[in-house]
Amino acid sequence: MDIFEKCYDFTKVDEIKAMGVYPYFHELQSRQDVEVVMEGKRRIMLGSNNYLGLTTNPEVVEAGIKALEKYGTGCSGSRFLNGTLEMHLELERELADFLGKPKALIFSTGFQSNLGIISAIAGKNDYMICDRENHASIYDGCKLSYGKMLRYSHSDMEHLEKLLQSVPDECGKIIITDGVFSMGGDIAKLPEIVILAKKYGARVMVDDAHALGILGETGKGTADYFGLTNEVDIIMGTFSKSLASMGGYMAADEKIVEYVKHTSRPFIFCASIPPSNCATALAALRVLRKQPELVKKLSNLSSHMRKNLTDKGIKIRMSSTPIIPIYTYDADKTFIITKKLYDNGVYVNPVVPPATAAGECLLRTSYMASHTHALLDEAADIISKVISLFPEVVNHE
């Protein structure tokens, strides 16, 4: 059998393109902002994870330019060897201080952070107990480890407890959860998770990729939001969202960080983040610390859009974060609606299986602190106009 047979038999993309509704890889011809130019036309951006709107912040942009001028374009090596800049260490210190943990470690991407942390921590006699709606990088981190992964139904604490009860006492165990779930926008039941972890002698790791800059009075994330910073063992996150850059991190006790730093293959054998990425992440973190009001502004704008959509009769998946999913149910309808929105000047992200269950397809919309009420009102009107063309979606029970 030819190993490439699966490639030639893969026809789904061709089918979607033939329908004229292929929604991926649109060409961005402007900055990542609340309004963008894609393929020659203005679009209102409702599909970015640039939650605090810092990708165009003058301080952040200037920091990247200065780092390029001082350090050049790259480090040409791993952190383990020649690739550690003084700025990498500076960012780690400021992250640890901001998150209330003794030590932090930065990785080259957010995805790689989960690969590197989980594969290093979980050995052959260990169990990783994961929420079913965790990010793909958590799943792949578990696959890369020598431990055994167990999955509990989304935010189902009764199921989580049953799984914890099934783990042999002599085995190590860690509960891993997204803080804010990337597709649904809902928040993990962290207080209940912490109680169960204590009861069964498990550790807790929270992926705060979509929570940093969003949750907590000053944007410190899920653990701070619940007042549980000292009860969460590992906080993981990314720079590619609220911090407007590229890279990722972990924050934990010093011994845990040092262990990962010296045993994690995805960390040791990967080049460090370029100077410009490091500098922009550091600058964005400093903007967040100086302007915590951005967190409240983002929350208010998201609430405005949530009310706007519900007032227009649009069925959304309720959340209290800047991720607002709109139900479309059927995959083909989701692609068609996404295309019509795009043609009418609104960019959103279609969510279809395997990212969601069959029959529960969504349009994932997400918001930035730099949006305005006028832009959101314009987008809501367009969304309402397009979705009203699909009564089977509007009237779906």
Is the confidence at residue 393, as pLDDT, over 90? no
* CB atoms inside a 10 Å sphere around CB 133: 20
* CB atoms inside a 10 Å sphere around CB 199: 11
Tens-place pLDDT, residues 4-23: 999 999 999 999 999 999 99
Domain coverage including residue 278: 58-290
49 and 69: one domain?
A: no
Q: What is the DSSP string of 340-358?
A: HHHHTTEE-EEE-TTSS-T
CATH number of the domain residue 194 falls in: 3.40.640.10
The structure tokens listed for 153 are: 């139904």
68 and 168: one domain?
A: yes
Strand order across the beta sheet in which 323-329 lies? 323-329, 361-366, 349-351
Tens-place pLDDT, residues 96-112: 999 999 999 999 999 99
CB of 177 closer than 8 Å to CB of 142: no
CB of 55 closer than 8 Å to CB of 281: no
The last residue of a domain, from among 234, 259, 290: 290
Kindly state the average pLDDT of the residues 23-46. Answer: 97
88 and 158: one domain?
A: yes
Domains: count for the chain:
2
CATH number of the domain residue 336 falls in: 3.90.1150.10
Report how far residue 259's alpha carbon sits from residue 249's, in angstroms, rounded to the nearest whole number. Answer: 14
Of 113, 274, 292, 143, nearest to 206 by C-alpha is 113
Report how far residue 88's alpha carbon sits from residue 278's, in angstroms, rounded to the nearest whole number. Answer: 7
Tens-place pLDDT, residues 363-390: 999 999 999 999 999 999 999 999 999 9
237 and 99: one domain?
A: yes
49 and 79: one domain?
A: no
216 and 310: one domain?
A: no
Tens-place pLDDT, residues 229-278: 999 999 999 999 999 999 999 999 999 999 999 999 999 999 999 999 99
Rounded percentage of the chain residues whose pLDDT exceeds 90: 95
Tens-place pLDDT, residues 129-180: 999 999 999 999 999 999 999 999 999 999 999 999 999 999 999 999 999 9
Report how far residue 229's alpha carbon sits from residue 220's, in angstroms, rounded to the nearest whole number. Answer: 10
pLDDT of residue 354: 86
CA–CA–CA angle 373, 376, 379 (5° rounding): 150
The amino acid at residue 84 is: T
Is the confidence at residue 397, as pLDDT, over 70? no
Report how far residue 115's alpha carbon sits from residue 136's, in angstroms, rounded to the nearest whole number. Answer: 10
Kindly state the average pLDDT of the residues 280-289. Answer: 98
Rounded percentage of the chain residues whose pLDDT exceeds 70: 100
